[in-house]
Structure 1
Amino acid sequence: MTQRSDYLWISPGLITYFKHNQKSIKLLCWITTYPSNYEKALAVKNTWCRRCIFVSSANNTELPTVNLNVTETRKNLWWKTKAALTYVYDNYYRDYDWFLKADDDTYVIVENLRSFLSQQTLLEPTYFGAKFKMMVRQGFMSGGAGYVMPKEVLKKIVTEGLQVIRKLSWINEGKDLCSSKNEGDEDVEVGLCMEKVGVKAGDSRDSLNRHRFSWLFFTYY
């Protein structure tokens, strides 16, 4: 049985418009990696993420990596993520519209992601990913599947949640809305922080209720 395409009704002119709209989307991706995984990260770089930046706890000239100066342990993933969010905001916020976080074992079909993002608005405080409905009231996005956010969400989580820019702001009396601890599950902590700064956990399923983000390995399918 054939399935209906989301774009079955679109005229050739509109197809041209959507393709142009996808290309006009300025998307930055950052890949979280670590020293013992650089070989795997290189394989990822040579496939879908040739234009992504790689963040780590040590320098590597072949990828190359951005050294976030954090202590590399699994327990410190939240610390590493906060450092990455801050770095990306400080260096790339003005130049891109959307920001994608992924790991060095994530595979993204960028054309499909761009197609999805072309249907979203930059002004809506929403982020997208593989949504888990637990531990956070509105749910959170599984870190393994990656998650994507518009630039204003990146700004909110850094300047309002992490208080990197406005440490003495009257908003929340200068206290971090995001956890100030280094330890914590990255995806859950991001979800909690997003909720506290008023960012919605969006629904990225298609018109047939199929998930666009998956945290499972291909061997599970």
Structure 2
Amino acid sequence: MARYIGPKTKIARKFGEAIYGDDKAFEKRNYPPGQHGNARRRGKKSEYATQLMEKQKAKYTYGILERQFRGLFKKATAADGITGDVLLQLCESRLDNVVFRMGIAPSRSAARQLVSHRHILVNGEKVNIPSYHVKPGDVVAVREKSKSLDAITSSLSNASHPYEWINWNNDKMEGTFVSTPERIQIPENINTQFIVELYSK
């Protein structure tokens, strides 16, 4: 399956929450998609269905395909710490996610595009791999030639930079990934225990 590029509101409605950020269309119709919408009777979900839904939510939120996600889970299993928490930390350490968190792009998909098109530097070097693992102390910056791009300046003008694990310098258009965030600092509403249980079967 290729990366999902369809209507984001439809996916948000599927999970019952705005996983892609503020969404006026979702607020108007925050019930599951489909011909019968809210009227359709839905039985109690099985344990497997609940676990699968949580995994799908995490994959859609971070824009990661199954093979990559499974690879991250294997890394998380081998690392020290709680597997579910480490899994989310690995997702947060991806370059496309860090670019999004710094406010350089308004969404993770936009951040992925900026990285792929070589607009982003890591420690002064061009990196065009969205899944690149950013380490504490790494400096992520907008390439000099790209600083005047409307997409970037517009996104930064609306950014609030609320994340404690990132230091942002607006004048230089660069930020430091100070530390890997703790689970409590990550705002995504994902129950990683369900994902761990699913992959452990």
**TM-score class, shorter:** under 0.3
Q: Which structure is higher in helix share?
A: 2
Q: Which structure is higher in strand share?
A: 1
The normalised TM-score by structure 2 is 0.25
The normalised TM-score by structure 1 is 0.23
